[in-house]
Structure 1
Amino acid sequence: MSVERIFIVGDKFAQFAENAHVMAVSKLEAILDGDLLHQHNLRFQLGQGVSEELVARLLEKAASLKKPWLTDFSKPLKAGRQHAHKHQQHNSMISMPRRLSHDSFEVDVLLDDRCAEMSDHMTGQHIQGMVLTEAARQTFLAVSEEFYLHNESHSSYFVINNMDVEYLRFVFPLPMTILYQVLDHKISERSRSQRFEVRMSVIQAQQICCVVKTKFSTYPDALIAEKEAGLAKQAILSELNPEIVHEKSA
C-alpha cells in the first residue's frame, strides 16, 4: 500500500492549501476532532506557518485517537530569545543551528504565520522575499551566539556592515533549510570585536532559491551603547543647528 503524504500549512497560506497534497492546519484539526481519518496510508508532514502550540495539539490529538502514524513529525526545537533576538516566540523563524563542519552550519526554517513579517497580509502562494531576509538575519544571529560568542562574559551588539540578497526562484510554504557558510572571520583583541563575512543559501527541494551574503561585526554591548548615545546627541544637534554642521564640514 503506497503512502499518501500531505503537507500541513498555516491558515494564512489558504491559497496554497487549495493544491493537492496540502491542507490548512485548521482543517486538519477539525478532521481530527471528528475522528474522520481512517486510512492507514496517510502521513501528514509540516509545511510552513504552523505554530508550536498547534504542532503540539496535532500530536496530542493523533496520540489520543491512537493514530500516531498520521503525524510524521515531532515538535521542532526553535531558536529562542537568546539566539533569534525575538521577545515573542512566534517571531522566531528558525531552528537551533547545527554544525556541519568547521565553518558551515544549517538551520531549518520554521515559520509561524503570526510572525511580524506576515501579520498584515499574504499575496499569492509563495513566501515573500522579506520573510526570507529576516530568516537569514536570525540565522547569523543564532549561529554567532551558539558557536562564536558562547564563551564571552558580556552580551554582544551586532552591526550589519553590508547585506546583499539575490532571489533566484519562488519559495513556497514547504520544508526548507538555510545553509550557513563562514567565508571570513577575524577577531580583534583590542576592541573585543569579531568580524564575519558569511553566505547563507535558502534551500528547498534541493535547489538554492535565495542567497544572502552579509558582512557584520559584533561588539561588547556597553561599548556600542556609549558610542550610540554620543551619535544620537550629535544627530539631534545637527538637525537643530544645520548651519553649524555645515561650517564644520566646510
Structure 2
Amino acid sequence: MTGDPAGTELPRTPLPGSPRPETPDDRAFEGHTRRNVVVVADRFASFARGDQVLTMTDMLALITSGRPDVPGCHWVVHLGQGIDATDHDLLEAACDKSEAMVCLADPAASRQQAERPATVHKDRPENVLLAGVHSPSATHCQAELRIHRDNELILDHHTGEHVQGIVIIEAMRQICIAQFETAVRPALGPAAYAGVWKRIDLSFEDFLFPLPATVESLIEESDVSRDSHLKFRASTAVRQQGRGVATAVIEYSMIGQSRIDALERRKADQATRAYLG
C-alpha cells in the first residue's frame, strides 16, 4: 500500500462552477437595489420560505405576474437543488419576457449538466448526484452536488428543511466511483469494474440544505498491483459555502466485473441453500 498518511486534510482547491453565488455585471444594478433569491424544486417546498427561497412554481408565478417589479429593485435568481436544464430554460424565458427587473445569476454555469450515469455506476440520469467532476491532481477529485427532483433517495422521505443523510452517503460513494472512472480507469484495460465497499468511517458535522454544495475525494492509499482487484482508501467530504457538512474515510475495492459476477453468484447460491436448509 502506498500513499499519504491517514487523516490527510482535503485540499481547498477552488472548484469550477463552485456554489459561491455569481451575479451579472454590477453595472446592470446602477441606481437599483439588488435582491438575491434562490429557487428550488417544488419537492423542497419545506425549505422555501417565500422571501429568500422560492419553489420553481412560485418563482415562475411571481415572474409572470410581474410582481417582482418593485421600483428601484433588481431581482437576481440563483438556482438551488432540484433545478434541471429544462427548469433553467423556463426561468430564462420567463425572465426575458417579463417587464420586471429580474435575471438569472451566472446563466452559463447554471446550464452545467449532471455526469453521465455510467461515470457513477448508475442506470438512471435522475439518480446521478454529481456534476462537473474535476481532478486538480492525480489523487484529488471534486464535483458539484446536483440533486435531481426525482432522485430515488428523496422520493419518499420527510426531513424537514434539510436534505437527508443518505444523500450525503451516496454522493460520497459516487465521487469515489467518478474518481476511479475518470482518473484511474483510463490507464487500465477494457474490462468493466464494480465497486465493493469494505469500510466507511463517517461523521456528520452539519445539516445539508437544498443549496449548491461540493463533494470531494482524496485518495490516501492505493494498491493497484492486481488489475482485477484494485484497493483504495480515500477521505471524502461534502461542503456547503465553505462549511463542512460531513466527512468520511472510505476503504473500497474496484473489482473486475466478470470476477465479481462469479463471486456474487456463488455466494447468492450459498445463501439460498442455507436459507432453504
TM-score after normalising by structure 1: 0.87
Unaligned runs of 5+ in 1: 242-250
The verdict on how the C-alpha distance between 1:89 and 1:63 changes in structure 2, with shifts beyond 3 A counting, is: farther
Bigger drift between 110-119 and 55-64 goes to 55-64
Checking the alignment, whether the CA contact within 8 Å between 2:143 and 2:215 is kept in structure 1 is: yes
Bigger drift between 201-210 and 24-33 goes to 24-33
2:45 paired residue number: 14
1:154 aligns with one of 191, 194, 198 = 191
Checking the alignment, whether the CA contact within 8 Å between 1:90 and 1:115 is kept in structure 2 is: yes
Deviation of 1:239 (Å)? 2.1
Checking the alignment, whether the CA contact within 8 Å between 1:159 and 1:218 is kept in structure 2 is: yes
1:181 paired residue number: 218
2:105 corresponds to 1:105:
no
Checking the alignment, whether the CA contact within 8 Å between 1:77 and 1:96 is kept in structure 2 is: yes
* Number of equivalenced pairs: 240
Checking the alignment, whether the CA contact within 8 Å between 2:67 and 2:100 is kept in structure 1 is: no
1:217 paired residue number: 253
Please identify which structure carries the higher helix content.
1
The verdict on how the C-alpha distance between 1:68 and 1:137 changes in structure 2, with shifts beyond 3 A counting, is: farther
1:83 paired residue number: 119
Checking the alignment, whether the CA contact within 8 Å between 2:200 and 2:251 is kept in structure 1 is: yes
Deviation of 1:223 (Å)? 1.1
Cα distance in 2, alignment partners of residues 118 and 106 from structure 1: 23
Q: Identity of paired residues, percent?
A: 21
The verdict on how the C-alpha distance between 1:176 and 1:68 changes in structure 2, with shifts beyond 3 A counting, is: farther
2:178 paired residue number: 142
Deviation of 1:35 (Å)? 4.7
2:245 corresponds to 1:205:
no
The verdict on how the C-alpha distance between 1:99 and 1:67 changes in structure 2, with shifts beyond 3 A counting, is: farther
2:85 paired residue number: 52
Deviation of 1:33 (Å)? 3.5
Deviation of 1:49 (Å)? 2.1
Secondary structure class of the residue paired with 1:60:
helix
Checking the alignment, whether the CA contact within 8 Å between 1:96 and 1:107 is kept in structure 2 is: yes
Deviation of 1:69 (Å)? 6.5
Post-superposition Cα deviations, 1:100-139, rounded to whole Å, max 9, x if no partner, equal: 2232121101112211111013321111111111111111
Checking the alignment, whether the CA contact within 8 Å between 1:51 and 1:90 is kept in structure 2 is: no
Cα distance in 1, alignment partners of residues 91 and 231 from structure 2: 43
2:204 paired residue number: 167
The verdict on how the C-alpha distance between 1:69 and 1:35 changes in structure 2, with shifts beyond 3 A counting, is: closer
Cα distance in 2, alignment partners of residues 102 and 67 from structure 1: 47
RMSD across aligned C-alpha pairs, in angstroms? 2.1
Paired letter, 1:30: A
Cα distance in 1, alignment partners of residues 99 and 233 from structure 2: 49
Paired letter, 2:120: A
Paired letter, 1:167: F
